Amino acid sequence: MSRQSNFRGPIPANGNSNERPQSKADEKGMWSSMLDSVASGKKLPEKNIIVLGGSPETQKEFLETLASDAPKRPQDRHRRKPVVANEFALGYTYQDVLDADHEDILARLSIYLLSEPEPSFAPLLKPLFTPQSIPETLLVMLLDWNEPWLWVRQLRDWITLLRDIRSSLDNASNEIMDDVMKEWQQRKRGVSTYDTGGSGAGSEGNVTLPLSQGEWDEPLGLPICVVCHNADKIDSLEVEQSWKEEEFDFVLQFLRTILMKHGASLIYTSNSVPNSLPILLHSTLGIHSLLRKQALKHNVIDRDKVLVPPNWDSWGKIRVLREGFDVEATSSGWSKDIQERSATNSTDQPPSPEGAVLPLYESTISDPRKSKSTNPLDTEPKIEIPSRPTQDFLISQLETITRLQAEDDRAAAASKNPSTNKQHDERVNEHIGPVQVNMGGIQVDADDIVRKLKNREREAVTRTPEVEVPSVAVAKSPEDAKAQNEALNSFFAGLMKRGTSGSPRGTPGREGKSASGKDSPSKKG
């Protein structure tokens, strides 16, 4: 019995010994599919936020608020922060959303920023709305509490610009936008949607509610969040602009009514007070942490911490805030505002159509700078003083300097004319009045004393012509001053001695000397 010479391995279980082993190409394909599946599982989700409005400084403050509660990884301590390029036209930056364990990155936010709602900027925004990016995009309209009287006009300009951009998109992009809006309209307004990070439809505990009046009447194709930043300025409006609770409630009711038509959420934020801005934006984009469940609760009571989640508001809740607000007229009038503006598609300010609500808002919440400048009877001190342009200020200063130089030249020329100097001295004397001198606690007129002394000197010379009265001159040196003092002492001593002895010719202190200090005539004889 012969032995088998070639051993080809064990016989398969099915008894077929002719099946060939797996080739290297098949093994490579298997490993490639496994690696691709792992790579797709680790792929970083990318979300887009388009920030519309606000100054470059306000936009940077908004980004700081958005990243305020983000956990920091130890390896990121020495990494540079992403640069915010928002000084010109369309800006860009990015942020990483980290999980609570500081290790995993939940998503990366690509943030685009645009400050002005100019129609010429529409071509910059249009490439951001593609069928792939639309489901992962959120619109943020940034308002500033420093200028609340401009809010409704700014919202109107941004919304009409977005409507124009959507009308220029292709059919595929518009179909995706319609699907996104249907999904948002069908989302359940229950606890699990925001508090537990549920996905909306199909979440346990949610209850389907029909759309209420004025809700989703004007969808824009993307979810919207309106952020009113710098809420710490609310107190200054109350103090400086005399705002009352009626004004704050009117602004809130007006915003909530017009934002319901677009399915938008609303939040008041500031850098000094913690807020729920990151939770609101992340939940709107579908970013949820599995390790940390954060609650998102509405707030319409605290005027500086307002939070209205999407799909939460209704006309009944808006009326409860303050009686007298016409919700129906505001809702219908807002549709006329945005349709009329979109039809004109111009940078000019056309007159508002009949029934529009923009004039009502701006008449109720008026710009204090315009009201004070147009009211000639307003005598209250201005709180804000507008600054002049630099060139105008310098021109006015040059005119002032030229005028003062001309006055100095005229004064220098007049000082050379004696008659002019005399008139000037007289005017000065008339202006300053008599010079008062305190002598022993008694105020006396110095000019009157000088005048009386001169008169007494003249009378003394008239009565005693033989007595030589020394002339009082200004001492030019210490020796002259000493000689003058000695002459005056001798003169007054002779007068006193003459008054006591009765002699007509008194001799001064030293014998043989006259009042003038010379040898007396008797000695010379």
| 0.75 surpassed by pTM | no
Specify if 254 maps to a domain. yes
Specify if 264 maps to a domain. yes
Please indicate, yes or no, whether residues 312 and 195 belong to a single structural domain of this protein. Answer: yes
What is the predicted pLDDT for the residue at 402?
Answer: 92
Please indicate, yes or no, whether residues 95 and 235 belong to a single structural domain of this protein. Answer: yes
* Ranges 31-35, 50-54, 497-501: which has the least confidence: 497-501
Please indicate, yes or no, whether residues 57 and 161 belong to a single structural domain of this protein. Answer: yes
More confident residue, 261 or 463: 261
Please indicate, yes or no, whether residues 253 and 363 belong to a single structural domain of this protein. Answer: yes
When pLDDT is cut at 50, 70 and 90, the band that residue 112 belongs to is: very high
Please indicate, yes or no, whether residues 351 and 462 belong to a single structural domain of this protein. Answer: no
State the residue range of the domain holding 128. 43-374
Find out whether 138 and 47 touch, Cβ atoms under 8 Å.
yes
The dihedral over CA atoms of 210, 213, 215, 219, expressed in degrees to the nearest 10, equals 110
Domain count, the chain: 2
What is the predicted pLDDT for the residue at 491?
Answer: 77
Find out whether 290 and 321 touch, Cβ atoms under 8 Å.
no
Specify if 410 maps to a domain. no
Please indicate, yes or no, whether residues 272 and 164 belong to a single structural domain of this protein. Answer: yes
Mean pLDDT over 441-461 rounds to 75
Is pLDDT above 80 for 35? no
DSSP single-letter state for residue 135: G
DSSP string, 402-468: HHHHHHHHHHHHHHT-HHHHHHHHHHHHHHH-PPEEEETTEEEEHHHHHHHHHHHHHHHHHH-TTSP
The pair of three-digit structure tokens given for residue 494, joined into one six-digit string: 């002779």
What is the predicted pLDDT for the residue at 170?
Answer: 94
pLDDT digits (tens, 9 = 90+) for 270-323: 888 888 899 999 999 988 877 777 778 899 999 899 999 998 999 999 999 999
Mean pLDDT over 403-425 rounds to 77
Q: Rank 100-104, 150-154, 241-245, 513-517 by mean pLDDT and report only the highest.
A: 150-154
pLDDT digits (tens, 9 = 90+) for 117-132: 999 999 999 999 999 9
Please indicate, yes or no, whether residues 116 and 240 belong to a single structural domain of this protein. Answer: yes
Q: Is 233 exposed, middle or buried (0-12, 13-18, 19+ CB in 10 A)?
A: middle
Coil, helix or strand at residue 319: helix
Specify if 151 maps to a domain. yes
Specify if 12 maps to a domain. no
Please indicate, yes or no, whether residues 187 and 104 belong to a single structural domain of this protein. Answer: yes
Specify if 270 maps to a domain. yes
Is pLDDT above 70 for 190? no
Q: In the listed set 357, 374, 391, which residue is the last one of a domain according to the structure? A: 374
We report the CATH number of the domain holding residue 228 as 3.40.50.300
Is pLDDT above 50 for 233? yes
Please indicate, yes or no, whether residues 251 and 339 belong to a single structural domain of this protein. Answer: yes
Q: In the listed set 352, 374, 396, which residue is the last one of a domain according to the structure? A: 374
Mean pLDDT over 73-93 rounds to 75
* Ranges 150-164, 334-348, 494-508: which has the least confidence: 494-508
Is pLDDT above 80 for 194? no
